[in-house]
Structure 1
Amino acid sequence: MSFLKGRAGDVWPILFVTGIVTACLFAGVSVLMRMRFPDKSRPEWMLAGLIVLGVFAIWYSLVYVRGWEGAALGMLGFNVIFGAIAGYLIDKAIRRCRKR
């Protein structure tokens, strides 16, 4: 990956932004889905899908890619997992505030 050729500290902003964007997208899509389909429970399925995708990215980085590129891909997998969990918690907090 070309962004890894610089200093090692250059990767962290990309990884943080990836986690933040994942959390915001998950929360936004989850809120929109709740507004359009209030009786369906799709956010839990989206959370499960993103966690599986993150675990797959970590597994793929450990088994096939390896090296520094594999480490970056594994960190992206962790960010997708934690971003999805953060987005799910944000969605739950928004729904609690709306009920009050």
Structure 2
Amino acid sequence: MRYKLPVHCPSCETALQVSGLTCPQCHTVVSGNYDIPLFLRLTPEEQEFIMQFVQSSGSLKEMAAQLGNSYPTVRNRLDDIIDHIQHLQSAGHDHS
């Protein structure tokens, strides 16, 4: 079973930070406080949309055909994701 990386605290909904990484080969441990990358803070559906967008070379027309949706529907979905990314960045959680 593969576990999903949590990005928000289950108690208070604050954005979580990564505090440790372990090498599965030599067991070296790196610790500190690191922000979770912005892409991973998007919903799985938003991540999938972005992957499809990249795989279609950024062609919304091609994506619309692949998804069986109209161009305006796909464009609106992209606009929603852009708004979400801007919200995440303006909330001060993106330091990259």
Report the TM-score, using the length of structure 2 for normalisation: 0.39
Say which one has the larger Rg. 2
More strand by share: 2
Report the TM-score, using the length of structure 1 for normalisation: 0.38
More helix by share: 1
